[in-house]
Amino acid sequence: MASNDIGDWYRGIPQITKYWFTGSVIVPLIGRIGILSPQFFLLDFASVFYRFQIWRPITAALFYPISGPKGFHYLMNLYFLYSYSTRLETETFAGSPADYAFMMLFIWLCLVIIGFALNLLILMDPLVLSVLYVWCQLNKDVVVTFWFGTRFKAMYLPWVLFAFNLIIGSGGMMELFGILVGHLYFFLMFKYPQDFGGAQILTVPNILYRFFPKTRPGMGGFGQAPASRARPGDDNNGGGGGGGGWRHNWGRGQQLGN
């Protein structure tokens, strides 16, 4: 029964999130059990451009050390990845996985450029924070619960995580990069066209629709931030609760007034 439950849960993960989540499990495990050295997964300019190890920008976004004290942080990354990516893919980008794939590609490319410029070796932290930031901006008024029962609006969650890691983590710079890139995407895709009346600068290439066809005809409407889709009675599944999988009070959203 337990294996069937896990299988059902995994099959229920939306397409893009499933690819990302699976890669973020497999790549660190390959490094942990010694099939390949973790050095092969790190972002390195010389290795990519002079040795043609072109997989590194991808593995750098999926790899994270899972031994020692970093193991807990890695598990929290997986939790945030699954929870907030699932919500974006099934709510804001519902029925149009190509648009969500484009968001992921845009964020990833920006982080790879920053990684080359600043010699960042792994990109999982800022990639997860970027996706979390976009969800929080699209669901600003959803109340989330942090450690020790602290409650605040979702719009503050990325900054709380930044401050948390600034104090007890690795300095918070990776989280800050994630916030900056997430804000860049949110501004260009949603805020600039909607609030400033500007042109839609970011457009999804048609080739992505060939690989990820729309699952619901007429879905889309991107460039306009939607209202929160949380429903009354969803307290156990709202915000960052994941809708299944791990249960944790860090970042679980609840709609006010329910």
Residue 66, both tokens: 């899972």
Phi, psi (deg, nearest 5) at residue 191: -70, -45
Count the domains in the chain: 1
Chain centroid, CA 170 distance in Å: 19
Structure tokens at 53: 């190890």
Per-residue pLDDT in tens (0 to 9) along the chain, 258 residues:
556 788 899 999 999 999 999 999 999 999 999 999 999 999 999 999 999 999 999 999 999 998 777 888 899 999 999 999 999 999 999 999 999 999 999 999 999 999 999 999 999 999 999 999 999 999 999 998 877 778 889 999 999 999 988 887 667 899 999 999 999 999 999 999 888 888 889 999 999 999 999 886 544 444 444 444 443 333 333 333 333 333 333 444 433 333
Helix, strand or coil, per DSSP, at residue 47: helix
State the Cα–Cα distance between residues 202 and 146, nearest whole angstrom.
33
Q: Write down the pLDDT at residue 132.
A: 97
Q: Would you state the structure tokens that stand for residue 38, as one six-digit string?
A: 């973790």
Q: What does the pLDDT read at residue 148?
A: 73
pTM (global) more than 0.75: yes
CA 8 to the chain's CA centroid: 22
Closest-CA residue to 130 (of 189, 70, 90, 192): 189
We report the CATH number of the domain holding residue 216 as: 1.20.1540.10
* Neighbouring-strand partners of residue 144: 152, 253
- Give the residue numbers spanning the domain of 17: 2-254
Q: Looking at residue 196, what is its pLDDT?
A: 87
pLDDT for the residue 248: 35
| Helical spans, DSSP H, in 70-228 | 70-87, 97-118, 124-138, 157-168, 173-186, 192-195, 206-211
Rg over CA atoms, the chain = 18
* Type of residue numbered 218: G
* pLDDT for res 2: 58
How many angstroms separate the first and last alpha carbons of the chain? 34
Strands across the sheet containing 252-254: 151-153, 143-145, 252-254
CA torsion sign for 200, 205, 208, 213 is: positive
Rounded CA-CA distance 219/35 in Å is 43
